[in-house]
Amino acid sequence: MATSKRVALVTGGMGGLGEAICIKLAASGDTVVTTYSLGNAKVQQWLGSMKERGYHFYAYPCDVVDWDSCRTCISKLTQDLGPVDVLVNNAGITRDMTFKKMDKINWDAVMHANLDSCFNMTKQVCDGMVDRGWGRVINISSVNGQKGAFGQTNYSAAKAGMHGFTKALALEVARKGVTVNTISPGYIGTKMVTAISKEVLDTKIIPQIPMGRLGKPEEVAGLVAYLASDEAAFLTGANIAINGGQHMQ
């Protein structure tokens, strides 16, 4: 069993969906940690703004693409706060273009940031979860990993790969009290999505969504909090779609 005060690590937690996840896990009583890119000058400003809102988060520098950086991050975090009980692999990037125009650099960048990062971070904490008999690994994928998307062969492949990773690892650790699950959000109203022109949102994106609106970051965060809870102990290896009905399986 996890202790009452769990340590939850959210990669890429500063802003957007990651920030909503951090807030929700903190509200659940967890000690919440996020990673930030090396050289990010806004870390203290973000931590301060969160503190003003009543949330005390910890932040550690980490390049999720780099194995040694991940190992150093988790070593320091564990020394300071204790072992990680909940890992949310949320960090990722896009480099959209048609396959005709895509080069190896932009293919590799997206595969490294979205898929290799899952291995790099999970590998640091999974054995400890197994040894303690409790743990949660939650991988944030995408609806486009399920259905594909024009101009996203790299991103769709990486996000689909995340769920293959989820299923295989879930089988290996199922008897050890550790669950591994995937969440595949659709279009969520983060700054990145709402920066799209209103015309494109109204004519191209919203019409694809049967609910007729963007999702809210808090709605995805609520699902993360459930998967991180004791109540979700019998749920593992799943890919949960939260996309307003845009893509159904």
| Structural domains of the chain sorted by starting position, each given as residue range(s) with its CATH number in brackets | 7-242 (3.40.50.720)
Q: Which of 55, 155, 187, 226 is catalytic?
A: 155
Give yes or no for residue 3 having a pLDDT over 60.
no
Residue 59 phi/psi, 5-degree rounding, is -135, 135
Residue partners of 176: CB distance under 8 A and separation at least 6: 129, 130, 133, 135
| pLDDT (mean) for 223-249 | 96
Closest CA to 224 of 64, 69, 15, 28: 28
Catalytic annotation present for 155: yes
Mean pLDDT value across the chain:
95
Closest CA to 137 of 16, 44, 227, 247: 227
Give yes or no for residue 50 having a pLDDT over 60.
yes
Residue range 116-145, pLDDT digits in tens: 999 999 999 999 999 999 999 999 999 999
pLDDT of residue 15: 84
Say how many CA atoms lie within 13 Å of 47 toward its Cβ: 15
> 215 with 173: CB under 8 angstroms?
no
Any idea what DSSP says for residue 185? E
Residue range 63-93, pLDDT digits in tens: 999 999 999 999 999 999 999 999 999 999 9
Give yes or no for residue 61 having a pLDDT over 70.
yes
